[in-house]
Structure 1
Amino acid sequence: MKTIIIGGSATGMGVAAKLKRLDPKNEIIVIQDKEYVSLGACGIPYFVGDNFSNPETLIARTVEKFEETGVKVIKNTKVDNVNFKNKEVFFNNESLKYDKLVIAVGSKPIIPSTKNVNANNIFTVNSKEDGIIIKNKITKESKVLIIGSGLIGLEMVENIYNSKHSKITIIEKADKILKNIFDEEFSDLVENKIHDKNITLIKNDEVIEFLVDNKNNVTHAKTRNGETIECDSVILSIGVLPNTQLFKKTNLEMELNGAIKINQYCETNIADVFAGGDCCSSLSFLYKNTKTFYLATIAHKQAKIIADNINQSKSNQFMGGLGTTIIRFFDLELARSGENRTFMENQKIKTREILIKDKDHTNYVSNQKDLWLKIIVDNNTNEIINVQLAGKNKSVLRIYGLVSLIWSRVKVDHSLEQIDLPYSPPFSRTTDIIHIALSKLCKER
């Protein structure tokens, strides 16, 4: 059986590796538009921040290692077209027939139509090359403008600040940072940290024009509200979209944002064609609504599911995602899981919630810090549908236990209130913040 995989990132190479493990006789061909495969793109901010010096560390597994197992990788090549009817992929004036096709093209950075956005010193955070260029460009004297305050944007802020000590300005179009990821109480904590570091934060505004010199380098950014920001490096971190423009004129079913529609088996609407990762819309675990999860964890899971189902039809299925996320921003740590506020409001889900501020461990052990926890419960099902945490000292790793409560759909009642959590003075208190929150939610029932 011949399987062609378009895209050599987490999903694509995960499928290739597992298919070979399941049956070494499988013929697998990966078509990749770069020199390398298996890029750990989440590590780019930390490479820029000098957490490690060799950019090859970002590569989880080399092309040569895959080829040693019998996986053929066609590098530096873009697919021009796919004929789904004839099961044929076209590239470089060549074509290949397939038995099974996997689309794993990932996502691409959103590039706004701002005037002069193609200037030399405007960067995205998407490839190994991006990381190398940014790291070499930014110095202690740099004036860096970061557009967007999502997860990657904030990771870039932290790493550039810590390693380069550059002057940093963040501009965010929304009224708060981490919009649709965390509620206001948690966004406020991050904004306070930004101000503590003397980093400029501009909200409710956007760049409408980049001013460039005669070498096409940005010198200033003009905003809709009349600000003029001096800058010599600009990092676009507005977000990403599925990288699926190749398929827009085919009969492959896609969402309005370009995400490929797949079922629980990661099958598309076309026979023998699978898709997974950032280029797809997937099921949300709790309400089975569809959304695009731009998360490496989802990509890896779907790779295993695709390989299983190619090897044996409908033998494995994707159960859905929760959008579980964790981030460090200087010494502040945040984690969240479950449906977001916008979805709850749009679906008119009746909820009750509790926000608790407590301490992460006992007062007689040094370095005790504040810990915040929010739990949101669906009143109809009496199940937890959202949790958010903020703290320090890795105290937000409580998210692992809270995700398990969401995943198992346990009812919030007096039995759950007695959940047997661990206690030790350096880690927690005898009545943990989770116990406090559950107790109050039971009383509000």
Structure 2
Amino acid sequence: MIFIKVVVIGGAAMGMGVVAKLKRLDPKVEIVVIQKNDYVSLGACGIPYYIGNKFEDSNMLLARKVSDFEKIGVQVLTNSEVKKIDFDNKKVLVQSLHQASEQSYDKLVIASGGTPIIPEVISQDYLNCFTVNSKEDGEKIQKLRSQVKDIVIIGAGLIGLEVAENLVGNNKVTIIEKGPRPLSNLFDQEFSDLVEDELSKNKVKLIKNNEIKEIICKDKTITEVILLDGTKIKCDLLICSIGVRPNTDFLLDTKLKLTPRGAIVINKNCATNLKDVYAGGDCVQTFGRVYKNEIYSPLATVAWKHAIVVAQNLAGIKSSFAGGLNTAIVKVFELELARTGENLNFLLENKINFKEVFIKDKDHTSYVPGQSDIWVKLVKDENKKTLISSQMAGHNKSILRIHSVISLIWNQTVLNEEIDQIDLPYAPPFSRTKDIINIALSKITQT
């Protein structure tokens, strides 16, 4: 290795993924991590299940401890934030709890992640208002849940729905969604309808096409929220879950190239426009695999892939990101959903000539108990004759069928007259003789 020191900004999935991989490739490399919390390697996706009492110890959210990295020679500066970067002189200005310091670097990795989007109406700090992005917020919500009755969640995205499931219990839960339907950026109308039915069945109230106009509070504690249409809702606990934006404010007015939304621009090697500076994860703009279109994809699965690419390039091993499909999976009470590929908005905006099929069938044979419905949508690029996206909904992990479809999309397999014969497994407890995937492929290839 031709350099001496690597500084990593951020200690979550992307940052610590780089550290772990790079240390395996070259144990002698010097690495300094700058982390704003007193912990690293947070698995934030587990927070809804922690606040839902699925497990008791919040430390289980941490994949590794700071001490684990210190044992392999990594210096972790906890409770520290980057205030400024001097790219010309390769120096990072760091502010810790008690002092400011400088860290020089030979190579720099920016893995600052995303920061929660907070609506303007939340103009101050409240004692009972939280996001779902930190271990601390998870711990506070978990402690409060038994003391409250009326819970309001802002946002019907993946995390908002998971939080609703885990908090409803004896509580009254209301979700406020600014858009026309839940999961609208990931799933089509047919699947949003299924989600709405599942929420209603489990006594979660969903209010669409609306947002909070005013917050009523007493002694910094929220007691009620008022919506745009004048609806008043009692609120003992307000949870904001409307997504994240790139955490890059400290990079504004620098030479580093950012998108208008603040995401760091990187190439396929996860390198920025500045020499010796790499970035990845929730703070960057990346690209789709099929059409090479620019996307912002704040997913843990993307972050770890970026981490491997960065680490290998730092170690002198040429590596590149292969592109993403925005694959996602979620459980909403008993309903399970999965999706992969480009969404309908992208197809329409880019005038893609596409064909889609939507099928409802059963997940396995009728004589084995527990048979339930499964829904599948496949979308084909008519010009390329390849699948470009898929969505599924079902129960009892039947939607894991999406794994086979992902492979077809990932490899851009040309759909011919034999594709519906793809050799999928069959046994009465798992599927039917002719699986729904075979049926859907047969229909999508028909001209």
Normalised to the residue count of structure 2, the TM-score between the two structures is 0.97
Of 411, 415, 419, the residue aligned with 2:418 is 415
The aligned counterpart of 2:180 is: 175
- What is the CA–CA distance in structure 2 between the aligned matches of 1:75 and 1:263, rounded to whole Å? 30
2:54 alignment partner AA? N
In the TM superposition, what whole-angstrom CA distance separates every residue of 1:200-239 from its partner, at most 9, and x where no partner exists? 11000000111111x1111111111111111110000011
The equivalent residue for 1:287 is 291
* RMSD of equivalent CA atoms: 1.0
Q: Does 1:27 align with 2:34?
A: no
> Quick one: which of 405, 408, 418 aligns to 1:402?
405
Where do residues 369-408 of structure 1 align in structure 2 (5 Å cutoff)?
369-408=372-411
Aligned to 1:296: 300
Give the match for residue 134 of structure 2. 127
SS in 1 for 2:46: helix
Q: CA deviation at 1:142?
A: 1.6
3-state SS, counterpart of residue 66 of structure 1: helix
In the TM superposition, residue 251 of structure 1 has moved relative to its aligned partner by 1.0
- From 332, 339, 346, give the equivalent of 2:342: 339
CA distance in 1 between counterparts of 2:429 and 2:298 reads: 35
Among candidates 4, 8, 16, match of residue 7 of structure 2: 4
SS of 1:362 mapped into structure 2: coil
Name the CA distance, whole Å, in 2 between partners of 1:287 and 1:165. 46
TM-score (norm 1): 0.98
One-letter amino acid matched to 2:259:
E
Is 1:198–2:203 an aligned residue pair? yes
* Distance apart, 1:140 and its partner CA: 6.5
Question: Match for residue 50 of structure 1?
Answer: 53
Three-state SS of the structure 2 residue aligned to 1:139 is helix
Report the counterpart of residue 319 of structure 2 in structure 1. 316
Residue from 144, 148, 153 that aligns with 2:151:
144
Q: Distance in 2 between matches of 1:218 and 1:309?
A: 49
What are the equivalent positions in structure 2 for 1:177-326 lying under 5 Å apart? 177-213=182-218, 215-312=219-316, 315-326=318-329
CA contact (8 A) 2:92 2:103 kept: yes
Instruction: Give the Å deviation of 1:405.
Output: 0.7
Q: Judge conservation of contact 1:116–1:209 (CA < 8 Å) in 2.
A: no
- Gapped regions of structure 1 (runs ≥ 5): none
Question: 1:225 is aligned with what amino acid?
Answer: D
Distance in 1 separating the partners of 2:158 and 2:148: 25
Q: 2:215 aligns to what SS in structure 1?
A: strand
One-letter amino acid of the structure 2 residue matched with residue 272 of structure 1: D
User: What CA deviation, in whole Å up to 9, does each residue of 1:148-169 have, x standing for no partner?
Assistant: 00000000001112xx421100
8 Å contact 2:148–2:236 — kept in the other structure?
A: no
Once residues 230 and 345 of structure 2 are traced to their aligned partners in structure 1, the CA distance between those partners, rounded to angstroms, is 30
Q: C-alpha displacement at 1:118, in angstroms?
A: 2.6
Aligned residue for 2:40?
37
Give SS of 2:7's match: strand
Q: Give the unaligned 5+ runs of structure 2.
A: none
Conserved? CA contact 1:140–1:165, under 8 Å: no
